[in-house]
Amino acid sequence: MVQNPENEIKKGTTTVGLTCKDGVVLATEQRATMGTLIAHKSTQKLFGVADNIGLTIAGGVGDAQALTRYITAEAALYSLKRNGVNMSVKAAATLTANILSGRGYYPYWVQLILGGVDNEGAHVYSLDMAGGSIEDLYTATGSGSPYAFGVLEDHYRPGMTLKDTVDLAITAISMAMRRDAASGNGILVATVTPEKGFQEMKKEDIDKRINILKVE
């Protein structure tokens, strides 16, 4: 992520989102940059915005954080109005796209992945700063996304188990961190399932998977 988005459109980060037969996996690295300076080494780029929905962020830090708060509040209000019923993933993606497209000449400098589960299954959406919203089986964002996509294109298969999908997400982020200077300093992973909702993995569990996969 970039600390100062002015005159800077490139999104220095790597995030991925993948669907699987058990739900959705979201993953990011943790580096924030200001040009060639590593500004922060433990940046939170992964958020739960509802019990059934998660979000990854790339782009300007301030814009991304403000937008995340906005979406989280709207999802909570929806649940309150509907007596505890969660917003669908498509509705959350459409809402976010409408917010993005409504900023006119002063857009949110972000690229997002929104993923989750609802009554229609598991979904992952890629959202751009102009308000474009595209659903896919898997996607990646940020400056490290070409390297992540290389891994995903080669190894992703529909119907993968949650465990295998977590491993693939970790591998994709790790490969991007090897070649993209704006990506690094650790990996965050979250899963979204019908049974447990949004759950962020513990660091020690991620480190165990990294050691087993030998991708560090």
* Residue found under tokens 């649940």: 79
Place of tokens 């660091």: 203
Three state DSSP letters for 68-106: HHHHHHHHHHHHHHCCCCCCCHHHHHHHHHHHHHCCCCC
d(C-alpha 99, C-alpha 66), whole Å? 12
* Token pair listed for 85: 């019923």
Say how many residues make up the chain.
Answer: 216
Cα separation, 96 vs 20, in Å, equals: 23
Rg (C-alpha) for the chain, rounded Å, is 16
Q: Is 14 a catalytic residue?
A: no
Name the residues annotated as catalytic: 13
